[in-house]
Structure 1
Amino acid sequence: MQNIKKLSKNFSKLLDQQNLSTKELSTLIDVPQSTLTRLINGTIKNPNQTVLIKIAQFFGVAVTELTGELNADMTSSQAQEYLSDDDFMQMSVQEVMLELIQDDEGRLVLRESKNHDEVLVCIDFSEKVKSLLAGDVRIIGEHMIQAALASVMQQQINRYHAHIHDEEPERYS
């Protein structure tokens, strides 16, 4: 590693931004706290790539962004070489089931199916627009949300080389 000071500074900054301690992060990414502390202190001269990958993936940054190196960003396939299959899959895959419902007030609401309290997207058409759309309010709202989700998924695919699986919902509301 060329510049351990940059790594130390960047890592410290990420911890501060998330208001995390090395102890908390250690538990979250399964890396010894002593290793994380030595990274911050700059006493590790050649950090383990597996550790760097776990830290970078946790904070959603590229390894080169963490290390301050501008050359050759590590690809997903390169990262997999350093991690076991289980570690790589656990860190790479996050499944979220979403549902689109029409609430009691007539708004279209997108939320996680397991968390009914947190609304991710809410579409509330004015009465004038509702009268113009007649019975197509729900269909138009669904298309608006599908377009937004498609855009987000494409960004994720481009950034993380993710695989998105679109499944038929088990139930409709």
Structure 2
Amino acid sequence: MELTVHTTYDTKALTALAKALRKTVRVKSSRITHLIALGIILLCLLLIWCSLNEPWSVVQYAFVIILLGVISWKEDALNAFFALRKGMPDLKECTTVFSEDHFETSLSGVVSQWAYSRIIALAETDAYLVLILSKNQGHICEKSSLDSGSIEALRSFLEEKTGLTIQRIRG
């Protein structure tokens, strides 16, 4: 059985990858980060209340609150933005071929073979299947561009080969 998927690595795809990483292998550190941000926001609210007669201080603390709120709200999109900026400009189109003993990725003419044992988690969003290889690395498969077979066949094939269950991620 051989399945082929073509994926475009754009902001939408990398946002899905960042979200999958955050919701699977980075879940503990993500919670800690969000708790720290919440603590800073609460501290700023307290400082605003204590310095109501100093307008410049209120503006500064409000700015910190707004900044932390936006960063927490859009963290996956920000991670995708920086990943696109850091990556090579010609690494946009990827072809993945799943075979019985390994899967191959082809980016800009460079072919890499990966053992299924390297996958530490599987995730699925509405548009993508995500193969997570480490805390900072993953591979995205666009569901709509599956050449042969069905998405259900690919799901069951990946679950069988890795021994992992696909985690559903909303959004």
Query: Could you tell me the TM-score, scaled by structure 1's length?
Result: 0.26
Structure with the higher fraction of residues in strand conformation: 2
State the structure with bigger RCO (CA 8 A, min sep 6), 1 or 2: 2
TM-score by length of 2: 0.26
Higher helix share: 1
**Highest Rg: 1 or 2?**
1
